[in-house]
């Protein structure tokens, strides 16, 4: 999952989100920037009882936030979704000293983007494509 800062830059560059189960997002600028939500078809909670740990399956969660418009949510795409969005420009991901390098091929030229985290390198590569 990428940082909120990089997610904002990607949205500003035009990245659109078609929510799928497993996608993570935040609701920024409402005091919930650090609360990461996950798109899910079913909520499962872990409960600790004296007899052991139990997985509780819940259809809905009672909470004060019933719904928000998709445009309010800020998508934090993970590695697989970012790689998918890079499409045919993606050449590879390699471990380098200090982190990771994503290599793209754009118009016959190799472009290397590096970051400490693989997800951030993927996100920065996507931002390069969107703004370059």
Nearest to 57 by CA among 42, 47, 69, 72: 42
For residue 36, the model assigns a pLDDT of 92
Q: What is the pLDDT of residue 42?
A: 75
Q: How far is CA 38 from CA 1, 23, 51, 72, 86, in A?
A: 11, 6, 29, 15, 22
Q: What's residue 64's pLDDT?
A: 52
Is the pLDDT assigned to residue 122 strictly greater than 70? yes
**What's the confidence (pLDDT) of residue 16?**
93
Domain limits for position 106 = 4-131
The per-residue pLDDT for range 34-79, each reduced to its tens digit, is 889 888 877 777 888 899 988 887 665 555 556 778 888 999 999 9
* Domain total of the chain: 1
What pLDDT sits at residue 62?
52
Alpha helix positions (H), the chain: 4-12, 79-86, 118-131
pLDDT of residue 47: 84
Q: Are 114 and 96 in contact (CB under 8 A)?
A: yes
The residue-averaged pLDDT of 82-92 equals 97
Q: Tell me if residue 74 falls in helix, strand or coil.
A: strand
At 34 the pLDDT is 84
CA-wise closest residue to 23 among 69, 71, 63, 74: 74
């Amino acid at each position: 999952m990428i940082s909120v800062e990089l997610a904002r830059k990607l949205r500003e560059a035009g990245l659109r989100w078609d929510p799928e189960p497993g996608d993570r997002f935040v609701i920024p600028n409402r005091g919930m920037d650090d609360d990461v939500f996950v798109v899910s078809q079913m909520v499962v909670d872990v409960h600790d009882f004296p007899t052991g740990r139990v997985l509780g399956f819940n259809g809905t969660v009672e909470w004060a936030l019933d719904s928000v418009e998709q445009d309010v949510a800020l998508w934090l795409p993970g590695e697989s979704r970012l790689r998918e969005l890079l499409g045919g420009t993606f050449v590879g991901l390699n471990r380098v000293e200090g982190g990771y390098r994503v290599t793209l091929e754009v118009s016959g030229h190799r472009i290397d983007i590096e970051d400490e985290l693989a997800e951030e390198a993927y996100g920065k590569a996507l931002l390069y494509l969107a703004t370059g």
